[in-house]
Amino acid sequence: MDPNFEWRTKEDKERVVNYWWTEQRMLCCICGKQMRPYAGEGDTHPLRATIEHLIPRRENGPNKVANVRLAHALCNNTLGQQWERNRHLVERGSPPVSDSTALKSAWGSYFANGGPEP
């Protein structure tokens, strides 16, 4: 698939998701663990595949093949929330929390609350 391909329709987006699903062999680009298939906006399972923008949308990252990968919703959301928390910590003069620490905490909470494997 052309790395510069930019999706504009739902069908195009699904093609990009299917491309990365195959390329990544169903593994999260953040933690490397198996994901549940991408099911669109209605799926709320924390281990479902979501679109992770390498250059975030908040920084005007494009919806291009080269700028996205697939990640668990849990991993993707944890890092997005951690970015915001770290911004506030740094503004107050405190050191930021590492991504790996944030992910370990999120996964620990998930399994502590009885979350099943993908």
Helix (H) or strand (E) holding 50: strand 49-53
Fold of 10-112: DNA Binding (I), subunit A (1.10.30)
Check whether 113 has a pLDDT greater than 80.
Answer: no
Are 74 and 110 within 8 A, CB to CB?
yes
Q: For residue 48, what are the β-bridge partners?
A: 36
Report pLDDT digits (tens) over 64-105. Answer: 999 999 999 999 999 988 888 888 999 999 998 888 888 888
Q: Which residue has the tokens 């994901």?
A: 35
Q: Where is mean pLDDT largest: 20-34, 41-55, 82-96?
A: 20-34
Split at pLDDT 50, 70, 90, the class of 116 is low
User: What is the Cα–Cα distance from 34 to 57, expressed in whole angstroms?
Assistant: 25
Full-model pTM: 0.84
